Structure 1
Amino acid sequence: MMKHHKLLGIMFIFAIAALITGCGSVSSIEKANNAYDLYQFNTAVEMYKKILTKEKDKKVKAEVTLKVANCYRFMNEYSKAENYYRKVVKMPNSDPIAYYYLGEMLKRQEKYEDAIIAFKDYIREVPGDPVGETALKSAEDAIQWKKEKTRYVVEPFKIVNSKANDFALMYYRKGAFVFTSDREESTGGNLYDWTMQKHTDIYFIEPEGKSTTKYKKPALIDEDQIVNTKFNEGVVTFDSRFNTMYYTQCNDASGKGHNCRIFVIRKKGKVWGEPEVLGFCTDSFTMYGHPSLSPDGKKLYFVSDMEGGYGGLDIWMATYVKRGKTWGDPVNLGPVINTTGDEMFPFAYTNDRLYFSSNGHPGMGGLDIFYSDKVDDVWTKPVNMKSPVNSGGDDFAVIVEKGGTIAKGYRGYFSSNRPGSKGDDIYQFYMTPLEYTLSGTVFNLKTKEVIPDATVTLTINDTFRVAVKTDASGGYKFQLAPENEYSVDAFKKFFFDSEIKYVSTVGLEFSEDFVRDLYLDPFLPVDVELQGIYYDLDKYTLRPESMVVLDSLYNIMMKHPYIVIEIGSHTDCRASVEYNQKLSENRAKAVTDYLEYRGIPPDRMQAIGYGESQIANGCTCEGNEGPGLDCTEEQHQQNRRTTFRIIRTDYVYPDEYKDRLDQYQREHQLGDYAPAKTMPKEQRKRYEEQENQQEQEPEDE
């Protein structure tokens, strides 16, 4: 057990201690064992070490050395514990559990490679024990987790931490906090045998005025010793109004109790009323503690070793019975959450997300912090928060601020005795905001020169659009948001539109800068083939699939209303020259007729039929002569083509067609309707609502 189990896993059996002290002569080992059994490890370890200087029996010496190692382990002096476990494993016929605890002590110091060796030794000595396999995997995972990229930043919460043990911070009213500490100011004159420090009390710390960074000196939550007694209190939770507090108290105010129980106390004005023990804390030898109230006040999560659990300490839940104004029978959260180890310090972030600490699930050291979501009333597999939130030490009692999002990140606090701590210390954590950018340069496709003053349009989820102009060096840049799909393209007068490039931030866990260069093809007086224009044999009626291709030409003409084009139609060499000429003229006119039907003024187009006069690949023929007779059907198809050519760039739209042009530009955000650098207010509002819906954690019920 860990030092901070003192509010749950330890009973102060002073009567038994007095009885032992009053007994007659007992051996040195018996005295040391008695101190050990009473969790007086500081006393026991010195007794055992004296015994080792005189003991000759190898078996006894191995047992005592193991006890010394255990004492240092319980006292969280991991380096000393490691030293003594190494001595044990070298002794003949030593308990193989020493290999396991050696690995654990190495893990606590984050010596994971050495821990792997120790756990493999334990598996060799005790094959088939799942505890060894789990420990080995946790050490291997820890090595990987420390290498992984993370958004978390962890810092000591210095305004609270002292030379003593400070842990289990909880939010209080008006920016204040409540926490548990065994600092010198705690009530009670006796020292706690395990830590040789004062017993724990509940403290609060409040900000100086409206400051969010400066705080007054921590003080006891009550000066009348209604809440705090001479024995251990701590680990609290409040209702939403901060008028009702649930907390853990061990051994009763008299010190004669043999367990820890959960009390509730209500504030009347500025004074706390009388504490009452919760109704389900009925067994005098069962541990109850670490309460956490759900945001809606309907569920109370807590820790207990009551019957029906899965191992050591489990997390249980009681539901408030409104009619009886009491808490119902506790229900174990089940084997997904609870293990054969200890699950402790639950924190109900929302009604459907629970944070907690465990040494039973694979972790990096002692207690690790996990979270689980309740989906369809079933808890999901717990997720380890990994490094740097978790460490080789004990990491526990996490709380998380409301209002976090994927983009902004989450903030909170937790307790740890990791390397660098002065015992149990409180740490704050936050996540660096997710920041995504999309940038690039617009180039001339032919010359590779940069193109300034081009319009670059960003389309978000096929719905919203924003646009910027490229700078003097052809560059552009957009800020992106998480969990969105984007496309980007460039446009400029006298150029064909660029290819559309795509970017997605969906599922990305870390910030990223995307680069997408865009290329604009300049208008040149050359033929551009319209791929995909097909006609039935000897027909000039457009097929449906051809209309899709012509729609793209229609869009080019509407985006560039100043151009005049020539539509050219070509045939292969088969059939007579006269026939092919007439067929090509009809096919070219079919194209211009379709575009005119779509709304293009007829004087913006010239339909030219070239027949077989411009064979592209040498497949010429006339009658039964010519190389074209030996060409394949694929080669003939290359000659049956439709092209367009820009022949003027000074067209002025007639009044009767301006309404159609204006409608198109409005719908496609062109010309006077081009997207702004930022979205219009209403569009931005809809976009942010969509973004928040994707990012927010489940709302409280």
Structure 2
Amino acid sequence: MKKVLFFIFIITSVNSLYAQSIPKILELGDEQFENNRFLEAIPYYEKVYAVNKRNYYAGYQLAICYEQTLQFEKAEQTFKTISEAPEHEYQTKSIYKYATLNKRNSHFDLADSIYLELAKMPNVEPSLLELANQQREGCLLAKREQEQNRNFKTELIKKLNSNFHDYGATENPANGNIVFATSRNLSGEQYKGSQFSGLLPDMMMYEMKGNGNYSNISGRQKFNKLNTKWSEGSGVFNAQGDKFYYTSCENDQGNAGCKIKFSQLKDDKWSNPMVLNDFINEANSENKHPSLSVSGDTLFFSSDRPGGHGGSDIWMSLRGDEGETWLPAINMGKVINTPENEITPYYSSPHGSLIFSSNGHVGYGGYDIYGAKGNSFFSPDLFNIGFPFNSTWDDTYFFIGDSIGYLSSNKENKEVLDLYKYSVPDEKLFLSLLFAGELMVDGQIMSKYRDAGSIDLVTFRAEDYEGYALFQPVVVKKKDLRKLFNSSAVEGGTIASNLESARVERSAKTKSRVEAIAETKPVELKSYESADDVERLYFDYSDFILREPSKVALKNLYERLQGQSYTRVNLLAYSDYLGSDQVNVDLSQKRGNTAKEYLISLGMPSEKIEVLARGELRSDQERDHWFRRVMDRRVELHVDSPQQLELSIAKNIILRKPLSLDEIAQKLNLDPEKVYQWNGSNSEVLTPGTSVRLYIPNNQKLDSKYFITEDNIWDVF
């Protein structure tokens, strides 16, 4: 009997010890996962999930790793298993992923039915429901487009592709040489890949011969010296062909912390690369895929930095007054960017449009290529450019050279990216046909943000008006971006005339489709916080002193984070547009530093706080008002965490008329003591332009005679 009890004791002890080690194993897996080292993360998640199939977090993370490393069959089976388990936190997300992988395999009807069942579930998150409805729209779009012949052709570049990843082709406009990234084994030393099997990618340069062959000239002008043991790829030349901007992931993290570098051709040799400044390569962010305007003064790129709309977003930056200095990057807005990923931008100067890849818009599956065109990139018309450029797999790295265009896709091999080419006799005509062709009408994406107040880049930063402003503003003349944009399509012909009627038809189709989708939505939806819904601290004009409500907000954040796992608090600091670029950057830095110092005084470790000075927020200056600029003078509190955090976020309102906190509480039927608690004790009458923190529902309507928010400001003026 004693032996039996001893044996039970030993088994219980071993199980207890192993149970205690599981959090440590998951922590090690999460560390690899956060650094995009998905292959290295897999063994940790596999070990936990093999022992406990009810550890749905480990299973879900494992499936994501399989998906990221192109092990799609394993990913699909794991998502399926998790989705069939009894109700749990990761069930709806697993169902969505399972449907999406079926869509990738062109099982459109099956995927559509799974999305439909997901939409009927009572506990589905509204954001996930929106994505599912987009994917259903994509299933219909893919089935419809597959049946049409649009007379466009793409073909594999067999003489450049290998059995490894080959992607991101770009062309030097000065000589037609082609540069692309590859994970094949080259002569230099390369580390093993941390995301895919094989080696980390390096760049190669090829010369196109007249007989249709290609010659490897990577050693010419010492171009291959730009490669390191780490990852390089996805670049762009300037119009003169003597500067090259590219992605480099050279650091001790392996494939994480990617930055954009540039090299210059000097004395017939490519110089040692230099890293672009911090406004392009923001700390603790992935910064990739540079694209340059033909004038060379605007850089587009993708980044997952805080303050975006989720995942990687497309950003843009203007060149400064000296050399390779760049101004604070601007997010391209809610029409182009989604809560998912937007990557590999290509800016077409002849057509005045932005081409990019996304897995967050209505598409066929995986990453699709989209085009944004209009008077403003912040409220453009958005198009899925369709077959044969897009497939149900990943289609990325769109680029147009002198007479040939390039893109990358894994639609043929399914496991590795290959290079494709297509003929482009004239870039403006080609893209106009691609966007506005009669058969392309159904590819237009109707964004829910399309009619929102937006930044018009035609007048963006021009400031050629006389606007009323409070607090003695100083208006400085800045760069005029009008030369960058051309809102016209093809003049004359049938395209322009067909487009308007086609849009009307498309609008009717979209309306009926939206009504059909609405029928699948649950009757009640839980409220949720969007990626943009974060706590904000407001400042007085040209000032960086914390107001009392801001101190309360920072204290609440600090107290909420106690006992929760978080990686970093990012303080995104902004100014309004008044004043010079450098003054505004310096001012936003001081605002961020003030908030950081206050958090440190509360006890938060300094190394867990990052100040990201963004300078001008660049609100819509055509619809400028001093209330709008009050909202621009702010610091946003963004928290990075491997897991979902429980944070209470107050809604900030701006007073339009003098009111005390007691009067505010009375008008909104709130407890005065709580209003004082949320804002600090203040019995004085607050002046117009003062911000007040309130915990009220996001959809609560406020009387615009007294209160201004981000939602109603343009309803007032």
**TM superposition score category, shorter chain reference:** 0.5 to 0.7
Identity %: 26
User: Are 1:307 and 2:275 counterparts?
Assistant: no
Give runs of aligned pairs for residues 230-269 of structure 1, distance below 5 A. Answer: 230-252=229-251, 259-269=257-267
Partner of residue 54, structure 2:
59
The one of 103, 109, 118 equivalent to 1:113 is 109
Q: RMSD value over aligned CA atoms?
A: 3.3
Which residue in the other structure is 2:467 paired with? none
In the alignment, what sits opposite 2:200?
A: 199
How far apart are 1:195 and its partner, in Å? 1.2
**Matches of 2:360 and 2:140, distance apart in 1:** 16
Q: Which amino acid aligns with 2:258?
A: C
CA distance in 2 between counterparts of 1:185 and 1:26 reads 45
**Equivalent AA in structure 2 for residue 260 of structure 1:** C
Matches within 5 A, 1:679-694: none
CA distance in structure 2 between the partners assigned to 1:120 and 1:342 by the alignment: 23
Work out which of the residue numbers 73, 82, 93 in structure 2 matches 1:97.
Answer: 93
Q: Does 1:85 align with 2:83?
A: no
Post-superposition Cα deviations, 1:522-550, rounded to whole Å, max 9, x if no partner, equal xxxxxxxxxxxxxxxxxxxxxxxxxxxxx
The residue matched to 1:242 in structure 2 has which SS? coil
Cα 1:304–1:42 change in 2 (3 A) is closer
1:294 and 2:293 matched: yes
Q: d(CA) in 1 for partners of 2:223 and 2:241?
A: 19
**How far is the alpha carbon of 1:88 from its aligned partner?**
2.2
**Structure 2 CA distance for partners of 1:67 and 1:322, relative to 1, 3 Å:** closer
- Secondary structure of the residue aligned to 2:64 is helix
Cα distance in 1 between the residues matched to 2:19 and 2:217: 47
CA distance in 2: counterparts of 1:47 and 1:323, whole angstroms: 48
- How far the C-alpha of 1:400 sits from its partner, in A, is 1.9
Does the C-alpha gap of structure 1 residues 194 and 377 become closer, same or farther in structure 2, counting only changes over 3 Å? closer
The answer (yes or no) to whether the contact 1:186–1:201 under 8 Å persists in 2 is: no
| Contact 2:302 2:343 (C-alpha < 8 Å) held by counterparts | yes
Residue equivalent to 1:390? 390
Where does residue 429 of structure 1 map in the other structure? 422
Shift of 1:32: 6.4
CA 89–294 in structure 1, closer or farther in 2 if over 3 Å, else same: same
What is the CA deviation profile of residues 607-633 of structure 1, one whole-angstrom value per residue up to 9, with x for unaligned ones?
xxxxxxxxxxxxxxxxxxxxxxxxxxx
Query: SS at the partner of 1:283?
Result: coil
2:338 matched residue in structure 1 = 339
Structure 1 gap ranges (5+): 1-23, 404-410, 435-481, 486-503, 510-701
**Would the aligned equivalents of 1:188 and 1:199 in 2 still touch at CA under 8 Å?**
no
Cα gap change, 1:33/1:391 in structure 2, threshold over 3 Å: closer, same or farther? farther
Amino acid at match of 2:416: G
Structure 1 residues 73 and 148, CA gap change in structure 2 (3 angstroms): same
* Contact map agreement 2:291 2:345 (CA 8 A) in 1: yes
Distance change in 2, residues 1:310/1:213 (3 Å): same
Corresponding residue of 1:123: 119
Q: Deviations over 1:390-445 (max 9, x none)?
A: 11111110012456xxxxxxx511001124345011111348999xxxxxxxxxxx
Residues 224 and 28 of structure 1: CA distance in aligned 2, closer, same or farther (over 3 Å): farther
**Distance in 2 of aligned mates of 1:218 and 1:417:** 26
Letter in 2 for 1:85: F
Secondary structure class of the residue paired with 2:265: strand
Q: Report the equivalent of 1:69.
A: 63
Give the distance between the partners of 2:58 and 2:376, measured in 1 at CA. Answer: 52
Q: Which residue of 1 aligns with 2:212?
A: 213
User: What SS does structure 2 have at the residue aligned with 1:104?
Assistant: helix
The 5 Å alignment of 1:592-607 reads: none
Match of 1:175 in 2: 176
SS at match of 2:162: coil
Query: Greater CA radius of gyration, 1 or 2?
Result: 1
In the other structure, the counterpart of 1:416 is 409
**Aligned residues of 1:393 and 1:418 also touching (Cα < 8 A):** yes
1:140 match: 140
Structure-2 residue corresponding to 1:464: none
Q: Report the residue type matching 2:232 in the other structure.
A: E
Q: Distance in 1 between matches of 2:58 and 2:324?
A: 53
SS at match of 2:75: helix
Q: TM-score, normalised by structure 1?
A: 0.53
The CA deviation at 1:306 is 2.6
Q: Which stretch of structure 1 is more off in the superposition, 72-81 or 317-326?
A: 317-326
Determine helix, strand or coil for the equivalent of 1:375: coil
Distance (whole Å) between structure 1 residues aligned to residue 376 and residue 39 of structure 2? 49
Q: Go from structure 1 to structure 2 and tell me whether the alpha carbon gap of 1:348 and 1:431 turns closer, same or farther (over 3 Å shift).
A: closer
CA distance in 2, matches of 1:359, 1:81: 17
Task: Give me the whole-angstrom Cα distance separating, in 2, the residues matched to 1:237 and 1:272.
Answer: 14
Q: CA contact under 8 A between 1:153 and 1:388: conserved in structure 2?
A: yes
Structure 1 residues 400 and 283: alpha-carbon distance in aligned structure 2, compared to 1, 3 A threshold: closer
SS at match of 1:192: coil
**Normalised by the size of structure 2, how large is the TM-score?**
0.52
**CA contact under 8 A between 2:29 and 2:44: conserved in structure 1?**
no
Partner secondary structure for residue 105 of structure 1: helix
Write the distance in 2 (CA, Å) between the matches of 1:355 and 1:156.
21
Aligned equivalents of 1:394, 1:422: Cα separation in 2: 10
1:25 to partner: Cα distance: 12
Cα offset, 1:75, TM superposition = 1.5
Matches of residues 458-537 of structure 1 in structure 2 within 5 Å?
none
CA contact (8 A) 1:153 1:432 kept: no
Q: Indicate yes or no: 2:272 matched with 1:274.
A: yes
More deviation in 301-310 or 240-249? 301-310
Query: Is contact 2:399–2:406 with CA below 8 Å preserved after alignment?
Result: yes
Q: Report the Cα offset of residue 305 of structure 1.
A: 2.2
Residues 309/68 of structure 1: CA separation in 2 closer, same or farther (3 Å cut):
closer
Native 8 Å contact 2:223 2:269 kept in 1: no
Task: State the AA in 2 paired with 1:272.
Answer: W
Distance in 2 (CA, whole Å) between partners of 1:243 and 1:220 is: 16
Offset, 1:70: 2.5
- Aligned partner of 2:503 in structure 1 is none
Partners of 1:257 and 1:161 in 2: how far apart? 23
Across the two proteins, how many residue pairs are aligned to each other?
408
Distance 1:432 1:149 in 2: 20
49 and 323 in structure 1: CA distance in 2 versus 1, 3 angstrom threshold: closer
Q: Deviations over 1:276-298 (max 9, x none)?
A: 21122353212222111111222
The more displaced of 318-327 and 197-206 is 318-327
Task: Report the Cα distance in structure 2 between the residues aligned to 1:180 and 1:137, rounded to whole angstroms.
Answer: 33
Over 3 Å counting, the alpha-carbon distance change for 1:58 and 1:80 in structure 2 is: closer
What is the letter of the counterpart of residue 112 of structure 1?
F
Aligned mates of 1:331, 1:221 — CA distance in 2: 36
Shift in CA distance, 103/235, structure 1 to aligned 2, threshold 3 Å:
same
* Residue number in structure 1 paired with 2:680: none
Measured after TM superposition, the shift of residue 151 of structure 1 is: 1.4
The 8 Å contact of residues 164 and 182 in structure 1, kept in 2 or not, is answered as yes
Query: 1:105, CA displacement in angstroms?
Result: 0.7
> What is the Cα deviation at residue 117 of structure 1?
1.7
> Cα deviations across residues 445-467 of structure 1 (Å, max 9, x unaligned)?
xxxxxxxxxxxxxxxxxxxxxxx
More helix by share: 2
Structure whose residues are more often strand by fraction = 1
Deviation by residue 1:211-242 (Cα, 9 ceiling, x = unmatched) = 15111147467758641111111111111121
Asked if the contact 1:134–1:362 (Cα under 8 Å) also holds between the matched residues in 2, the reply is yes
Give 3-state SS (helix, strand or coil) of 2:153's partner: strand
Contact 2:398 2:408 (8 Å CA) reproduced = yes
The one-letter code of the counterpart of 2:92 is P
Separation in 1, partners of 2:125, 2:254 = 44
Post-superposition CA distance 1:487-531 (Å, at most 9, x none) = xxxxxxxxxxxxxxxxx898689xxxxxxxxxxxxxxxxxxxxxx
Q: Is 1:233–1:249's contact at 8 Å kept on the other side of the alignment?
A: yes
Alignment partner of 1:139: what SS? Answer: helix
After superposition, what is the alpha-carbon deviation per residue over 1:557-586, rounded to whole angstroms, capped at 9, x for unaligned?
Answer: xxxxxxxxxxxxxxxxxxxxxxxxxxxxxx
Gaps of 5+ in 2: 1-17, 430-489, 500-717
Q: Which amino acid aligns with 1:265?
A: S
What pairs with 1:649-688 in structure 2 (closer than 5 Å)? none
Change beyond 3 A, Cα 1:87–1:316:
same
User: Per the alignment, do residues 186 and 31 of structure 1 end up closer, same or farther by CA in structure 2, a change over 3 Å counting?
Assistant: farther
